[in-house]
Structure 1
């Protein structure tokens, strides 16, 4: 892998959204690293990626993943956090999960995103001034819409959104950009299940190319069009 290329780090790699994002950034000339609990590092190498096994529930594992990334490829210009944990219950019994299960959902989805944001920012500060840099958290509607059956993930996504909002306000003017990006159905503005991998890939790459911090929330549809959540309509 060329040391002169920008680096993209996809955390929480999976066969849909994560794979589409990795392919997109690789096609745009990035060195790409992918990370997850079930990442096959040999298969990743065959695909042209650096595979890093990491468990986002374990903060030491998250830190080690960044250490390995920077040791082998250098600091990332694009960091994508696609990890989450959900153990759904029902709307009638949102407290059915044990405390430990709820806590794991919150930690993976939101709390450990804080350390990812810290490490991403530290990496951004090592890049040349003309290199765009962004941390993008894969979101959903949960910061604004209550889904009682997914309480642990919902609390985690609200934490992620709060971290992104604060970071964008503090560091965006310095060129270190932070976004919470999420997909909705274009016709209804409701959840898009399953998510559309290619739409994520196209939108996330567009976000990365921007050099100025835009609105920290980026809402888009299955076609990649931007969606105004407050107005309830597609805007571009």
Structure 2
């Protein structure tokens, strides 16, 4: 962690559950926090002590503008949390019911545009002091490994995210750049925790972001 200034955490997908809990936890750990969502009250975010950046992560120009603004106002992020997703459920018996445009929108937000987020995250990591821990964490679920025909767009997007994260972790891990695909499971069964709990995500994500790899 930098001894010169506060490290920066960028929470993408600042909704009503996970995003606020994760942001509060990072702030309590001494991070400067930026939050972003398609529908975001930037004034309310500022009142909570965050830099609010309204952005649509289905639009690649908006993704780039969000990172430009982050770096110009706070600096490059040491922790980037990708919590954005898009889903348009269909009947399980008709997974191809959505239009191509709807399907593509789901996939872009959930997975494909994660490529540009990861690319900009890695470029930011390169600007940080050598002693600063760095982590990208993508919020996941079980859809990359199970069949849910009614959530085809979400599933394809999450599978793309997994591929991007795994490739980045393998390539940049030796440099201390950590990339994670994380989802909450029940301690008793190992099954998915539904609904996911914001407090648990905040606790785990800050541990992953603050601790240097052993």
What is the root-mean-square deviation in Å for CA atoms of aligned residues? Answer: 1.1
How far did residue 192 of structure 1 move? 2.0
Deviations 1:100-127 (A, max 9, x none): 1111000000000000000000000000
Aligned length: 211
RCO comparison, higher one (Cα < 8 Å, 6+): 2
Deviation, 1:190, is 2.5
Q: 1:226 is matched with which residue?
A: none
Other-structure match for 1:196: 197
Q: TM-score, normalised by structure 2?
A: 0.96
Q: Which residue of 2 aligns with 1:99?
A: 100
1:43 aligns with 2:47: no
Distance (Å, rounded) in 2 between the aligned partners of 1:49 and 1:130: 24
Match of 1:11 in 2: 12
Tell me, in whole angstroms, the C-alpha distance in 2 between the residues paired with 1:102 and 1:32.
32
| Matched ranges for 1:130-141 at <5 A | 130-141=131-142
**Mapped partners of 1:113, 1:149: distance in 2:** 22
Confirm or deny that 1:129 pairs with 2:130. Answer: yes
Unaligned runs of 5+ in 2: none
Whole-Å Cα distance in 2 between the matches of residues 210 and 173 of structure 1?
Answer: 15
> Using the alignment, how far apart are the partners of 1:160 and 1:64 within structure 2?
21
Q: Which 10-residue stretch deviates more, 91-100 or 149-158?
A: 91-100
List structure 1 runs of 4+ shifted beyond 4 angstroms: none
Q: TM-score w.r.t. structure 1 length?
A: 0.87
